Amino acid sequence: MLILGIETSCDETSIALLEAKKEGANFFIQPQKSVVSSQIKIHAPYGGVVPMLASREHVKNLDYLFNQVLKDNNNDLKKIIKKIDLISVTYGPGLIPALLVGVNFSKTLAWAFKKPIIGVNHLEAHFLSFLLPDENQKKIISQKDLKQIFPAIGLIVSGGHTLLIYAQKIGDYRLIGETRDDAAGECFDKTSRILGLGYPGGPAIAKEAQKIKIDELKEIKNEVKLPRPMINSPDFDFSFSGLKTAVLYAYQKIPSSQKRKMKTYFAYEIEDAITDVLVKKTISAAKYFQTKSIILGGGVTANKVLRDKMNEAAKNNNLNLYLPLLKYTTDNAMMVSLAGFFDSLKNKTINQNSWHNLEADANLKI
């Protein structure tokens, strides 16, 4: 099965082709080609994503990316379109102006070329992204592999989402915890703005935090200690707005002459606080539900400190840890193609008229 994936839920426009099939009890996955157009430079002056600007860029980018992905060495677009078996598009959650562009573009393709189409949950796509190999590499997933993975706890963490799911198997999910206010990625962005480090906040804070001098750390920690919100609460929910406020007030109290020196420490402490909470909550959930594995997905999972901490915690608790390749942590159409493939296996009503019933849903839940 050749699947065309389309992603426009936020500020990345992406189109991908994925070859996937099920033979007996095994799944064969082979990414063909993928392109992602980032809008970071456009939204950076605003310190966050502006929905209407994102929508405008998606309109400008989609047709160009579509042709870039589908043209082969002979520029024969029609030949590849004929081979496509399924169109898979993110229909939620996300920014509604952005989602509408991708959904309507995909529906038009499905109508024009008489192709079946399926709407994909963006959160499920992030969760499944750990199964993707690099482009032009083939991955075989057996039932034995799946038995080693599931049941699992999934941590999906990005600029717009921070949540924990209990996954009995692929397609069988239960939401067990989510943020009550800011997402972790949003907290990175807002605290980065306070420190004057730029956008996106996650990479900016991580880069600044690497400058910390370990011999100075103990001394500085006695001056400022940021909170780890809800780290010891008995549930699996998150809250990061209090951390953002604590950074604002604490940094404002620092004398101007000390701000340059303290900026590095604040970046270190922000990253440490956010990752501490994410790891503690995830491990607690895995213990409570007695799962075999932990699976990470979403843009914040590119953070090296989070990866290192989670890896150590998983080992200490005899848990398997599955991480997506760095290229698949941010929003991308390859993960949308993969989610569409798995969804299609259990959806017997997909046909060339499926586009009639597909609508964007900004508040879609997993």
Per-residue pLDDT tens over the stretch 126-151: 999 999 999 889 999 999 999 999 99
pLDDT band at 351 (very low <50, low <70, confident <90, very high): confident
- Residue spans per domain, the chain: 2-134+327-357, 148-323
Specify the pLDDT at position 229: 95
Residue 159: is its pLDDT beyond 90?
no
Name the burial class of residue 307, with classes exposed (0-12), middle (13-18) and buried (19+) by CB atoms within 10 angstroms of its CB: middle
Residue 213: is its pLDDT beyond 90?
no
Residue 119: is its pLDDT beyond 70?
yes
As a whole-number percent, the residues of the chain with pLDDT over 70 amount to 97
pTM of the model: 0.94
The token pair at 322 is: 């599955």
pLDDT band at 225 (very low <50, low <70, confident <90, very high): confident
Work out the average pLDDT over 116-121: 96
Specify the pLDDT at position 139: 96
Work out the average pLDDT over 224-228: 88
- How far is Cα 21 from Cα 1, in angstroms, rounded to an integer? 6
As a whole-number percent, the residues of the chain with pLDDT over 90 amount to 82
pLDDT band at 365 (very low <50, low <70, confident <90, very high): very high
* Topology (CATH level 3) of domain 2-134+327-357: Nucleotidyltransferase; domain 5 (3.30.420)
- How would CATH label the architecture of 148-323? 2-Layer Sandwich (3.30)
Q: What is the mean pLDDT of the chain?
A: 93
Work out the average pLDDT over 317-336: 97
pLDDT band at 297 (very low <50, low <70, confident <90, very high): very high
Residue 324: is its pLDDT beyond 80?
yes
Specify the pLDDT at position 243: 96
Residue 125: is its pLDDT beyond 60?
yes
User: For the segment 239-279, what is each residue's pLDDT rounded down to a tens digit?
Assistant: 999 999 999 999 999 888 888 888 999 999 999 999 999 99
Residue 173: is its pLDDT beyond 60?
yes
- How far is Cα 302 from Cα 323, in angstroms, rounded to an integer? 9
- How far is Cα 91 from Cα 340, in angstroms, rounded to an integer? 11
User: For the segment 50-94, what is each residue's pLDDT rounded down to a tens digit?
Assistant: 999 999 999 999 999 999 898 765 667 778 888 999 999 999 999
Specify the pLDDT at position 74: 61
Query: Is 2-134+327-357's fold the same as 148-323's?
Result: yes
| Residue 222: φ, ψ to 5° | -70, -20
H-assigned helices in the chain: 40-43, 51-70, 77-83, 96-113, 122-128, 143-149, 184-195, 201-209, 214-221, 241-252, 256-289, 304-316, 333-346
Residue 206: is its pLDDT beyond 90?
yes
